[in-house]
Structure 1
Amino acid sequence: MVSTRSHKTEFPPPDLSPSKALTRTSRRGGKWQHTPDPAVLLWLIISLPLVVWDAAYVFGRPYTMPDGWLHSPIWTPYALYGEVDYIYGWKAWNEHNGFTAAQTALNVIESIGYIAYLWVVWKFGEGKKRVLPNAWGGVACLVGFGLCVMTVSKTALYWLNESFSGFENIGHNDPLSLLFLWIIPNGAWLVFPSYMGYVFARDILHGLAIASGDASSKPARATTPTKDE
């Protein structure tokens, strides 16, 4: 007769913590990690200073606007852009339109989050590619994905606000001015954050697949899995 007491020592209760699960599955043929995408890092390095510059203009109004004592030379380009997009010009300011400052406040929150992502990559990344294994990689991907969804949603709202208002702030532009001074610059905040969202989602799904025991699952871009069997 088989003793049931022996099963308690032979089969201890499993540790279901995520980090332990990822460590166990890596031994079965797959090691999860987040390698920061060079295109993502490049976009953040370029875009973050622009967002800070933009936020300083918005929260510094009216002093940063044309004829303001802070306008020249730092915010001189906004003299033109304020005529292209009235939401950044005197029209919105005189009408006490709060949309400009509201969306800029969200820009500041996003920027703080993106800076936190870069800090995690720099602080805890390993090697020249700043690879983030297991727990810290999960934190970075989760934060990055949430911020990308926020950026794309807010930018889409910015576009939809014009559409549903009869293009009140940009409808006066000729097609070429609209294309090169509004559509392309603002479209960048739809295209690149969407790509970033794809990168983070891919790594998150890959980590979940490994944690569930599907070690054969691979992301579109990944290093060669280690084999410890």
Structure 2
Amino acid sequence: MAPKTHTWITAWFLLTAPIIAWDVGYCFFTTSVYGGKHPHTNLTGVESGQGGDLHWIWKPYSIYQRVDLVYGVEALERGDGFTNAQSLLNVIETLLNVLYVYLAHVKAWPPASLVGLSAATMTLSKTVLYWVQEYFCNYCAVGHNTMYDAIVYWIIPNGFWIVVPIFIVNRLSRDLAAELNFAAKAAAKSKSK
């Protein structure tokens, strides 16, 4: 039995892959590749036209690193590893997302929904952790923003990574439950013969 697929889930998994790759590129090039000593992506001094030689690729981060200090220069200078840790998990999630699409649409592998559910659960839990960490540190990375900036640049963009995975987890959980119930009924029926 081929897995039940949903266009909107597949679209989310495929459309978010390049966004995540872009974010991971910013994070990893800033610290991991260059050890944080001469960050090529960092946008320090962007107002004066300075910054890393690759900062043009990530120009919107000139705003975001001021909104979310986890992405900012101060976090880089103190060696805060949270941003890269969550970026590494983003890579794993994205690989699972693409694997789900391949297994569900190309291979038609029945347990593919389990891969998609696992990926969406990872995304949801990591993003909730990101938000809860802010709560427990008294909004240490985003509390300096105006309400407008917090809503437009942090809550809405990051909120998508909570809301959409909730819907995906719900849908794929229901699909898997239906498949397990069907299998259980079929097994009981064959046992009674």
Q: TM-score range by the shorter chain?
A: 0.7 to 0.9
CA contact (8 A) 2:114 2:176 kept: yes
Q: What are the equivalent positions in structure 2 for 1:73-88 lying under 5 Å apart?
A: 74-88=57-71
Aligned length in residues: 172
Deviation track 1:39-63 (CA, whole Å, cap 9, x = no partner) reads: 1112122211100000000000021
CA distance in 1, matches of 2:41, 2:101: 29
- Residue 213 (1) aligns with residue 185 (2): yes
Indicate the structure whose relative CO is greater, using CA pairs within 8 Å and at least 6 residues apart. 1
Moved over 3 A (4+): none
CA distance in 1, matches of 2:94, 2:54: 23
- Kindly report the root-mean-square deviation, in angstroms, between the aligned alpha carbons of the 2 structures: 1.4
Partner of 1:137, secondary structure, is coil
2:116 alignment partner AA: G
- Residue 51 (1) aligns with residue 34 (2): no
Q: What are the equivalent positions in structure 2 for 1:184-195 lying under 5 Å apart?
A: 184-195=156-167
Gap regions ≥5 residues in structure 2? 31-38, 44-50, 188-193
Match of 1:218 in 2: none
- Residue 39 (1) aligns with residue 21 (2): no
Correspondent of 1:137 among 92, 110, 125: 110
Match of 1:226 in 2: none
Deviation track 1:178-219 (CA, whole Å, cap 9, x = no partner) reads: 00100000010001111111111111101111111179xxxx
Correspondent of 1:95 among 75, 78, 81: 78
Bigger share in helix: 2
TM-score, normalising length from structure 2? 0.85
Partner of 2:110, secondary structure, is helix
Deviation track 1:60-102 (CA, whole Å, cap 9, x = no partner) reads: 0021111011111x10010110000000010110111010111
Gap regions ≥5 residues in structure 1? 1-31, 125-131, 216-229
What fraction of aligned residue pairs are identical, expressed as a percent? 37
